[in-house]
Chains A and B, each alone.
Chain A
């Protein structure tokens, strides 16, 4: 249903979203996530998931090789640092150009098939890139060690005074670490969000949704869907490329493991968890996964004992040993279980859960006869397609 998506509510949503993202260091501090490294990850993976959602959420094409573009973006950015100096802007440009070139090539071939075959094709391409980056392309990718910027690199436009300093990316003198790094990523995330919002509302986005609901019918009406899906694929690849380049901007290093198919699986997970096909869902999913990854994997036996110390002694031991399966090293177990639960019970992700709650709330309030008109979750109401 495409009701009440007026330009005004979109603008409101964008403003609210920007405000929420930019004030993240403040409102995330109480839950222990207010430090720059994690915030940067939120923004970067939010952008990655946002791009993935443009493909999967709108067209329904499940790409299992999206991490390839992340890796390509990272490599392109590091090469830009090596050749042109530590400014992030040319790095971003490089990443966008390279990731979109690869996306055009891979998408052109993969999109000839749909369904599971498309997933396998993208997976095959990602695995090829990963394997090649590890083996033959070592002169370009530096293989297992990972590509990093060296003091001896040309770095044409860097001033000579920096020659001895640490190699940190900087935007005209602002070092891209800590909070300034976060704000750089956050601005790009907001730009990405704006683009994604415009695509969602455009006739182009409508066309992509039509592809998702029934591609055959689209073809029967005499419309060639390939250019639309390819455009979506390339845009989505560019988002991944930018995310990859931001990873390199905040930490000038690129490794092949970023392209591995587990990384592709991770972005699928983020999108599904938040809610595929919604605007805010993927960002929410990315944030939640990165947050819990950080929190849960830091837990160990001692912290658990401290948490469960209120229990009587005979219960504390078993409870702690049970809980320790799910934290620290076992964080992936929690992730897998969470993922299964979401897919089984809430295929629409967290945003669907929000919508269900809002609907329940609305029904109650309308029965009383005082429909408030607006839900407590304006964003989710807008995103409900």
Chain B
């Protein structure tokens, strides 16, 4: 029992990341009708927002003290981040909380990135075939990741979670198991709740605002909305930007779990696409539930008990599920009838 709970928890944080990326992907597909292969690159861009922010606030003031020398005989250098010099303890706290704080930095950056991408490139591809959309966004993804590689190098850059949630937590005790059976890193729990609240936020935005209502109407029948005199294109631009922000935030908060490198986006993209397809193209609840479902399935498949029966299953489970779903349920788990069924 405790093993099962642990595996579900393990699956949930990865599932959270899948769900967030897939949510943006399916939002873009549902509204704009564009298959965006650069969405993984947006996730990666978000992760590097956290890295850049950390570097920015970690800029150090170097003070050379000529009176003292180090053990090697060179003048002693003390390095203190500027932010600590200026703000004292507040600065130290800010450094400690650099990952959550970089959310504030990432939101405008990702909004801008999404806006520029949609206006500059994607807009011209609404009427083109899906194959060309895939190809051009694939090219864009290569360009983005190469730019990141030029500035940040090819090696993963580890980011640390704030001290308060860095350790592990004995969840088993709370749930009534023996102590020490279900031990779980705190940051992953934070990530889970974060992703749930972002998902909730996006749904609330679409459900309870006039803007969201127009977007939903546009997803259902774009032409009619246009005929009613509503400039749907302009709203869709914002939808694209929101999707970029969601992917970016998923990336920011994922950095303490997985040190970001330039090709992390591609790795997640393939899986997120599978998630979208399993959930049903253009279905938001489908993307979210398929994200968590596949995350959990993956962590169950990597249990040793399962692996001894079916060797290698942990490597292919997601793809296998995708193949089966696509063949027996053409529109995915929750896809709308008649949308992309062939």
Contacts and interface: CB of A to CB of B under 8 A. Distances in A.
A132 B311 CA distance: 10
Given A109-B323, A115-B340, A116-B134, A132 B312 contact: yes
A45 to B, nearest CB: 18
A62 B131 contact: yes
B273 to A, nearest CB: 6
A125 interface: yes
B259 interface: no
Nearest to A130: B315
Contact of A120 (B121, B266, B273, B320): B273
Interface stretch (A8-16, A72-80, A340-348): A340-348
Interface string A123-140: 111011001101111000
Contacts of B319: 124-125, 127-128, 131
B315 A336 contact: no
A377 interface: no
Contact of B35 (A112, A116, A332): A116
Contact of A333 (B146, B315, B322): B146
A332 B141 CA distance: 11
A344 B316 contact: no
Given A115-B342, A125-B323, A127-B319, A333 B143 contact: yes
**Secondary structure dominating the interface of B:** helix
A198 interface: no
A193 interface: no
A337 interface: yes
B270 interface: yes
B136 A120 contact: no
B326 A117 contact: yes
B140 interface: yes
A136 B315 contact: yes
Contact of A343 (B35, B135, B147): B135
B315 A117 contact: no
A97 interface: no
A147 to B, nearest CB: 18
A109 B322 CA distance: 12
A261 B270 contact: yes
Contacts of B270: 123, 127, 261
A365 interface: no
A339 B121 CA distance: 13
Contact of B136 (A114, A117, A343): A343
Contacts of B315: 128, 131-132, 134-136
Contacts of A107: none
B322 A336 contact: no
Nearest to B144: A336
A272 interface: yes
A136 B316 CA distance: 11
Interface string B111-152: 000000000010010001011101110111111001101100
Nearest to B332: A117
B103 interface: no
B204 to A, nearest CB: 29
B274 A120 contact: yes
B172 interface: no
A109 B147 CA distance: 38
A113 interface: yes
A119 B134 contact: yes
B322 A124 contact: yes
B290 interface: no
Nearest to B314: A135
B134 A336 contact: no
A116 B133 CA distance: 11
B153 to A, nearest CB: 10
B81 interface: no
A265 B140 CA distance: 13
A327 B207 CA distance: 48
Nearest to B315: A131
Contacts of B327: 109, 112-113
Contacts of B246: none
Contact of B146 (A62, A117, A330, A347): A330
B277 interface: yes
Contacts of B340: 115-117
B330 interface: yes
Given A115-B342, A131-B316, A60 B150 contact: no
B312 A344 contact: no
A262 B266 CA distance: 9
A330 B277 CA distance: 33
B124 A113 contact: no
Contacts of B121: 340, 344
B143 A337 contact: yes
A336 B142 contact: yes
Contact of A132 (B138, B146, B316): B316
A148 B327 CA distance: 37
A333 B342 contact: no
Contacts of A116: 35, 130, 134, 277, 281, 340
A343 B143 contact: no
A103 interface: no
A336 B140 contact: yes
Contacts of A333: 142-143, 146-147, 150
A339 B139 contact: yes
Contacts of B277: 116-117, 120
A336 B262 CA distance: 15
B140 A340 contact: yes
Nearest to B331: A117
Given A128-B316, A261-B270, A115 B323 contact: no
B147 A265 contact: no
A132 to B, nearest CB: 6
Given A117-B330, A117-B340, A124-B319, 6 more contacts: A116-B35, A120-B274, A121-B323, A136-B315, A336-B139, A343-B139
25 contacts: A109-B323, A113-B327, A120-B273, A120-B322, A121-B322, A121-B326, A124-B323, A125-B319, A127-B270, A131-B312, A131-B316, A131-B319, A132-B315, A132-B316, A135-B315, A136-B311, A265-B138, A268-B135, A330-B150, A333-B150, A339-B136, A339-B138, A340-B136, A343-B135, A344-B121
